[in-house]
Structure 1
Amino acid sequence: MAETESDNQFRTGMAMLAGNTLSPDWEKAVVLIDAAAAAGHADAIERQALLECRGVGRAPSWDKALDLLAIAAGRGSQYAARQLILLADDQFEPADSAEPRQGDWGEMRSRIPIAQRVRASTAPGHMFSASPIVHAVPDFASAAECQWLIAAAAPRLDRAGVYNNPSGIDPGRTNQSALFNFCNSDMVVEMIRHRIANQLDAPLGCLEMSQVLHYGVGQEFVLHCDFLDPQAMREEIARNGQRVATVLIYLNDDFEGGETSFPRLQIDHRGGPGDALVFGNVDSAGRPDSKSQHAGRPPTRGEKWVFSQWVRNRAPG
């Protein structure tokens, strides 16, 4: 089938937004995606839902975003349909399902409990440490959300990098990761990000790009701190803020080993699927806290999956 004008608009707009940093052409990209959506392009309408949710080029609106997701599903977007099924019924539908998803998408959209899905957890959890804070939060994400995140990340895994090395590669970090930029994020990921922001009482703009980490047998991230070095990274901190907190969501438990270890605090933790671990990287005065040093220990059997979210003390810019 020949490429239509809306196909070209959508493909060009997505290419402009495919990087892991904000494109200088983002406004032009948004215009192209909006134009393709206005022409009825199902995939463009699905991406337009993400623009509405994030408030890119418009005021953010969950209601408009979900309305668009239902329209996209009705026009044949299976990606939109799978998101609606999970958000309404907390059910994970694999992307390779043989049968196209069918449903009353408007009715399904009406059943999505937005406030419930983005609210902070009320579970007391377990406070391992008060300074720095190391807090385990049970059942932060559902089993279906965990399956979704693993499936979304698995085809895109690459060697995980480090922030303070020009090459991005460090021999002390041998695990893999997959980032969620605009082209591969979705409404499920965005609701989890909003939930994290509410859990920390932080503006959404303080959240860095989310990622999923994968550890095979023997793969690890040796002892390190997540805060940015105030001297080596002073320009980055001045521009985009300090990395003050980290949130991990454990996505599976069919492995052995693989603890998150804080040796200076004598903490070795392994959460179950959907459990979160929230920890601070700075002290009460906002100074880097070396006691937050931690490691992702290697699994001795199986593979470990974790959703990772770094949080700054202010939005970039």
Structure 2
Amino acid sequence: MNKPSSRRKKATSAASSEPKPALEPEKENPASVTIEVTALVVPEELSESEQHDRLHLERKVEHAFYEAGKALTELRDRRLYRSTHRTFEEYCRDRFGFTRMAAALKIASVKVIDNLSTNGLQNAPSTEDGLQILPTNERQVRPMTNLEPQQQREVWQQAVNKAGGKIPSGRIVQDIVDKIRERTKVPNPYREGEICILLPKDNPDLRGKGGCWGVIAHVGDYSCTVGTWDGDYTVKIEHLKLVELLEEDCKFMQQLCMRLRQLHQVASRDPSVDWLLQGLGKQAKPYLSSLQAKLLAAMEREYKLSWKQQK
């Protein structure tokens, strides 16, 4: 028997049964520690000339919609679109991608800005550098377009004060205008012969008439009577949206409304007539396509309706 070998095995077994000492945590090497340092960016001062240029460019950006409105006004009034387009609406859509109402709002904004910046605003709100605080987008101007000049100035002054001396949001301006309307009589902005679109909102009498256009036949203190292809409706001014058109375009729409009403009064009309009436009754445009004109004329011949164009 090899006894020494047996003793070595026992010794090894005994040694393996002893608890091993816990490993000590690895000590950090000071040389490997990462320290985050935030870099301080020191603002670079602008020269007096650069400051002037910055303010000038900022004002141009803020009032780009005003310059657009001035340009559109001149294009419309001088009919500089006539070499390529029949109507101002077509021109704005094709050349700038503006809807009819977008162009109209930019044009209306010009009068509001001119009023706020030039008429009796010696105590008008201004920034720390002395620049007058004026609207910077159509949303701020839209609620004031139907107000009298003095009311526009009062509304804007209150809106700037409510915004803490800064440019107010369109919502702030709208809230102040709503409060003024509650306590004062706002003049009816519409005139007889103008073209408007019906806005049903909460008026059950206008259910199904959303988007229909009509001719204003009577103007009251707070409402208008509007003639459409299928009848007359007396609605409040908040249920109307003006279609900005030249006088000649309004005349075209007035005549078209008369033609549509004549067809609607035919008791034995074919259902296809109603399809045309409903389609044209929601197309608030001062023109007809070639096919639309042919269809309308064909239906008038079918029911022996005479129509004489007014000069």
Q: TM-score range by the shorter chain?
A: under 0.3
Task: Decide which structure has greater helix share.
Answer: 2
Rg larger in 1 or in 2? 2
Task: Decide which structure has greater strand share.
Answer: 1
TM-score by length of 1: 0.26
TM-score by length of 2: 0.26
Greater relative contact order structure (CA < 8 Å, 6+ sep): 1
